[in-house]
Amino acid sequence: MIPTYSTWLLHKELGEKKIKFAEALEFIAQKLDAVSIEIPRTTYSDWSPAGVRELKRLLHKHGLFCASVAAQNHFNCTSHAERRREVQLTKDYIDIGQYLGVNVLNIFHAGWGDREQGRRLKAEMLECLKDVVAYAETKGVILAVEAHGPLTDNAKEFHEFFAACPSEYLRINLDTGNMYEGAEGNLQLIQYTAHVHVKPTYADLNGKHHDAEVVKVLSALKKTGYRGTVTMEHVDGDPLENSPRAFAEFKKMLASL
C-alpha cells in the first residue's frame, strides 16, 4: 500500500496563509519524505487552466504523485439548478484529474445536509451520480465516493447505490473514521475500495467515539490484494510540527501489515 499525505491536514495553515501551497508541497516532499499526496479542492486556490498547469509543474518539481483530488461536490441540493451546477463541477474535476494523472477523483454524494433531506432526494441524487459516472467512464477516471454525510455513512445504503449504478469506475473511498458502524461497516465494503482515508476513531449515531480498528480494516483490505493509496487524514496538534513523526509512524504501520 502507498502511504499518502493529504493537504487537508494543512487546510487551516493554508487558509490563514501561514504557509503557501508551494511551500506545503515542499514540506510534504522533503520533511515527510512522501511521494504521494491527496489534494482536496478547497486547499488549492487556483483551479483555472493556468493554475492547474502550475500545480502539475510543482508536483513534478517535488517528485510527488497526486493520488487523488477531492472535488468536494454536493448532490444533496434542493433545487434542480443547484444539482446541475454540482454535476458540472464534478465533471470539471474529472477533466482536471485526467490532466494531472490522478489515480482517483474523490467525490461526495450527499456531502452535507440532513439525513431526511438526503432520503427525500435519493432519486434526484442518483440521477446526478449516474451522469458523472458515465462521464468518468469516457475519461478513464475512477470516482471514489467518500463516506461523508447521509446515505454514505453506513454499509447498507452504500450497497444500495452501488447496485443502482453499477460501474467499474464507481468505487469507494474507504474511511475508517466516517462510517457510524466503524470497522464492521468498512469490512462490508472493502471490495469496492479505490482509495482509503485513515483516522484513529469514528463516531456512532449518538456521537460517541470508538476505536476505528485501523489495523484490522487495513489488514483485511490487504488480503484482497489492494496495493493502492492510503491517506493519513489525522494528526494531533500542530500539523507542521507533528506531521513528520506521525507520517513516519503511519508508513511504519502500513509496512508492518
Q: How far apart are CA 162 and CA 220, in angstroms?
A: 21
What are the grid coordinates assigned to 221, written together?
Answer: 483490505
According to CATH, the topology of domain 71-214 is: TIM Barrel (3.20.20)
Please name the residue ranges forming H helices in the chain.
Answer: 11-15, 21-26, 49-61, 80-100, 115-120, 122-139, 155-164, 183-187, 214-223, 239-256
pLDDT per position as a tens digit, 198-254: 999 999 988 999 999 999 999 999 999 999 999 999 999 999 999 999 999 999 999
pTM > 0.85: yes or no: yes
Q: How large is the average pLDDT for residues 21-39?
A: 97
What pLDDT is stored for residue 122 in this prediction? 87
**Mean pLDDT across 12-18:** 95
State CA 145 to chain mean position distance: 7
CB 133 within 8 A of CB 103: no
Q: What is the mean pLDDT of the chain?
A: 94
Domain ranges for the chain, please list them. 1-62+227-257, 71-214
Query: Cell numbers at residue 168, please?
Result: 467499474
Q: What is the pLDDT of residues 140-184, one digit of tens each?
A: 999 999 988 778 888 998 999 899 999 999 999 999 999 999 999
Burial classification of residue 127, based on how many CB atoms lie within 10 Å of its CB (0-12 exposed, 13-18 middle, 19 or more buried): middle
- The radius of gyration of the chain from alpha carbons, rounded to an integer in Å, stands at 17
> Which of 118, 135, 221, 197 has its CA nearest to residue 170?
135
pLDDT at 112 over 70: no
